[in-house]
Amino acid sequence: MTARARSSARSIAVLASATGSEWLMIAMALVLKPDILIADELTTALDVTVQAEVLSLLDELQHETGMGLLMITHDLGVVAEAADRAVVMERGLVVETGTPRELYHAPKHPYTRKLLAAAPGKGEMRGIDPAPEAILEVRGLKKNYGGFEALKEITFTLNRGETLAVLGESGSGKSTVARLLLKLEAASGGSVHWKGQDLLPMSLRQMAPFRRQMQMVFQDPTQSLNPHMTVFQIISEAWVIHPDILPKDRWTARVAELLTQVGLEPAHAARALHQFSGGQRQRIAIARALALEPDLIICDEAVSALDVSIQAQLIDLLGKLRDELGIAFIFIAHDPPVVRDFADRVLVMKRGEIVEQGPVRQIFEAPRQSYTQKLLAAGLDADPDIQSERRAALAAG
Ligand code: ADP
Ligand code: MG
Q: What is the pTM of this model?
A: 0.88
Residue 3 vs residue 150, higher pLDDT: 150
Distance between CA 306 and CA 304 in Å, rounded? 6
Name which of 290, 347, 340 is nearest 320 in CA terms: 290
Mean pLDDT for the stretch of residues 347-356: 97
pLDDT tens-digit map of 186-196 = 999 999 999 99
175 lines ligand 1 (CB under 6 A): yes
Which atom in ligand 1 lies closest to the alpha carbon of residue 145? 25
Is the pLDDT at 326 greater than 50? The verdict is: yes
- 175, 334, 347, best to mutate for ligand 1 pocket (most atoms within 8 Å of CB): 175
Q: What is the set of domains in the chain, with CATH numbers?
A: 3-123 (3.40.50.300), 134-393 (3.40.50.300)
DSSP β-bridge partners for residue 68? 36
Write down the pLDDT at residue 33.
78
Q: If pLDDT is split at 50, 70 and 90, which confidence band does 12 have?
A: low
Q: How far, in Å, is the centroid of ligand 2 from the Cα of 201?
A: 25
Which atom in ligand 1 lies closest to the alpha carbon of residue 169? 3
Distance between CA 204 and CA 140 in Å, rounded? 21
pLDDT tens-digit map of 300-324 = 999 988 888 899 999 999 999 999 9
Write down the pLDDT at residue 19.
55
Position 88, amino acid: V
Write down the pLDDT at residue 105.
94
Is the pLDDT at 138 greater than 50? The verdict is: yes
Q: How far, in Å, is the centroid of ligand 1 from the Cα of 7?
A: 43
Q: How far, in Å, is the centroid of ligand 2 from the Cα of 223?
A: 14
Nearest protein CA to atom 12 of ligand 1, as residue: 150
Q: If pLDDT is split at 50, 70 and 90, which confidence band does 111 have?
A: very high
Write down the pLDDT at residue 32.
75
Is the pLDDT at 3 greater than 80? The verdict is: no
Ligand nearest to the CA of 302: 2
Q: How far, in Å, is the centroid of ligand 1 from the Cα of 317?
A: 29
Residues in Cβ contact with 180 at an 8 Å cutoff, skipping those fewer than 6 apart: 141, 143, 151, 186, 187, 192
